[in-house]
Amino acid sequence: MSDAAASAAPGALRALWGVVKFLRRRPWMVAGSVGLLLVNIGIELSLPQFLGNAITHLGRGKGAADSFSLFHLVAAFAGLVTLRAVIGLFLGPLRNTTAQQTLGDIRAAVYDALQRQTFSWHDNARTGELISRASTDVFRLQDFMFVCLLFSVDVTAGLLGMLAYIFALSATLGWLAVAAMVPTVGAMAFFAARLQPRWRKVHEQHSAMSTVIQENIAGVRVVKAFARESAEIAKFRGKRDAFLAEMFRTVNYWAARVPFAQFLFGLGVPLVLWVGGRQVIAGDMPLGDLAKAVFYLLALGGRIGVIGQVTNIIQNASSAAQRVHEILNAPVTLQGGTRPWPTESTAATVRFEHVSFTYPSTPSLLVENDAAEPPKPPDAPKTARRLALDDVSFDLVPGQTVALGGPTGAGKSTLLSLIPRFYDPTAGRVLVAGVDVREFDLRALRRRIGNVFQETFLFSASIADNIAFGRPDAAREDIIRVAKAARAHDFISELAQGYDTIIGERGISLSGGQRQRLAIARALLTDPRIILLDDATSAIDPKTEREIREATAELCLGRTTLIVAQRASTVRNASLILVLKEGHLVERGTHAELLAQNGAYRDLFATQLTEEETRP
């Protein structure tokens, strides 16, 4: 066994066991499937007995009618075959349902795991890769379900039963059958060990191909804008060719072993015929018994072919199972506390105490395995990652509106993301309402914070549903109230379907400013105690921006607001302005104070302010 296979084996077994465990959720269906299957195997094992006995008796020619009733035998045979067919009629659907429902459970578990994962985990994972694992890899487990519910039982019970019967007929023939099986199974195992790592490779190539497809669909505008279609097509072809080449290599290798194994086993039949035939000639064995042994042996040969299939399915599934397992068992590194949100519904204080933060650099497994990633030169300098935030401290009183300014990449969005614990600080503490945010129940904390992200994501749903995302049971009046506050009501009313207009992929497209206004309405609807607005007004014209500001000022009453702003007009009215630069909090104060300092703030906004305004 190669090193790679040896090291992959325990992980693969554990991953497969993780899949099998899902079957325990449906114990009765599994018991029913396996129980009925065992009955059918029993019937199959008994049929050669009838045939063999008939042959022995019929061999006596004319006198046969005295020793047994041909009619009874034929009737019993026909009865068993009918019973087997009837059981099969129920067994098939039962097994399918069990397998599909279990796959459904696995899909749901993968989806849960993806939803529960942290921001940093998702930062390091690629969407195409995740989609491939959640859909294709789970689909690949389908055959494995049938291995668990059907083939494993069928092969084990079948092989043991047939061998037992052959031994009962003649120990010599029994050992001959074993002798034919050992090298066959050995050859299968030899191939199996070599195939396992290859299948994983095939699946990785498939994911890499999926990632290209996904990114090109999501980024189709960029591709077209830069007229890069042909380059992207070539890129896809490259990934596809790599996938196909790996696939062909593996499949050809795999296909070679079944005929080889069947050949090895096939040599056993003439051997049994030779040894058993001589026993019959010598009068040591009834003719019917030899016939039984040959029937069982032929049936064994069929099972050996199934072993080939099964090992193939298990290998194919084990790499898929490993990839699914990695998602299901990725530790969730950010756990919530237990503290509920304080009962008094006043605005909350926000306090940063010497907060530093670096984005985690841990490349997740999802990235590491990509064959397309160019290998890092061994002597690549290990530069320390820059702190996204460096020793930031400030204190906000309840209800205060604070503006965050600073050049791009200064850490403004990062600062906001620490308050709802999208990430935890590397050093220092973030306190909300006087409590370290890590102590809060995560849901309770996030539900009290309204987020308007820098990039607006809207779901393919109606406008009303999008606004009500955080409070699906909200009344229509409430939705309209927040839409008016966010100055979205007017443009929504002009749409033919109004609030029921479907947006996103299936529906109409909205402008950047319109999307932002929906995002503001969405955040306001949950009646948060803290509002985090990230660049929320940058895509809105000055008039609308002023309207939003007025309306939000009203809604911000009683809420602590942090607003990242690129516009001097937004910043200047804030009671406190924090200026970030390369992760440092370099200036703080009011508009007038900061202008007087003649520093970073003035540099940032000077071009936007008129002569008169710059005079403190």
359 touching ligand ATP, by CB under 6 A = yes
Partner that binds at residue 409, options Mg ion, ligand ATP, none, CB closer than 5 to 8 Å by kind: ligand ATP
414 touching ligand ATP, by CB under 6 A = yes
Under a CB-based contact definition with an 8 Å cutoff, are residues 328 and 109 in contact?
Answer: yes
Here the tokens at position 579 are 């200026």
Contacts with ligand ATP by CB under 6 A: the residue count is 12
Between 454 and 590, whose beta carbon lies closer to Mg ion? Answer: 454
516 touching Mg ion, by CB under 5 A = no
**One of 413, 417, 462, 561 touching Mg ion (CB under 5 A):** 413
Can you tell me whether residue 122 is helix, strand or coil?
A: helix
**Whole-number minimum distance, CB 408 to Mg ion, in Å?**
7
Partner that binds at residue 123, options Mg ion, ligand ATP, none, CB closer than 5 to 8 Å by kind: ligand ATP
Please state, in angstroms and rounded to a whole number, the distance separating the CA atoms of residues 232 and 241. Answer: 14
x-or-dash pattern for Mg ion, window 436-455, by CB under 5 A? ------------------x-
**Whole-number minimum distance, CB 189 to ligand ATP, in Å?**
45
Quick one: which of 256, 151, 263, 262 has its CA closest to 194?
Answer: 256
Please state, in angstroms and rounded to a whole number, the distance separating the CA atoms of residues 310 and 108. Answer: 26
412 touching ligand ATP, by CB under 6 A = yes
Between 138 and 404, whose beta carbon lies closer to ligand ATP? Answer: 404
**One of 308, 406, 425, 528 touching ligand ATP (CB under 6 A):** 406
Between 413 and 456, whose beta carbon lies closer to Mg ion? Answer: 413
Please state, in angstroms and rounded to a whole number, the distance separating the CA atoms of residues 516 and 467. Answer: 11
**Whole-number minimum distance, CB 411 to Mg ion, in Å?**
8
Q: List the interface residues with ligand ATP, window 95-154 (CB under 6 A).
A: 123
Partner that binds at residue 438, options ligand ATP, Mg ion, none, CB closer than 5 to 8 Å by kind: none
Please state, in angstroms and rounded to a whole number, the distance separating the CA atoms of residues 360 and 415. Answer: 15
Give 198's contacts (C-beta < 8 A, 6+ positions apart).
Answer: 246, 249, 250, 253
**One of 157, 291, 410, 520 touching ligand ATP (CB under 6 A):** 410
Under a CB-based contact definition with an 8 Å cutoff, are residues 305 and 258 in contact?
Answer: yes
DSSP 360-392: -----HHHHT-TTSPPPPTT---PPPPPSEEEE
Please state, in angstroms and rounded to a whole number, the distance separating the CA atoms of residues 534 and 269. Answer: 77
Quick one: which of 578, 559, 252, 271 has its CA closest to 433?
Answer: 559
x-or-dash pattern for ligand ATP, window 381-400, by CB under 6 A? -------x------------
Using the rule CB under 6 A, give the single segment among 186-194, 232-240, 242-250, 412-420 that binds ligand ATP: 412-420
Please state, in angstroms and rounded to a whole number, the distance separating the CA atoms of residues 85 and 64. Answer: 31
409 touching ligand ATP, by CB under 6 A = yes
Quick one: which of 362, 417, 421, 410 has its CA closest to 386?
Answer: 410
**Residues found near ligand ATP in the complex (CB under 6 A):** 123, 359, 388, 406, 408-414, 454
Binding site for Mg ion (CB under 5 A): 413, 454
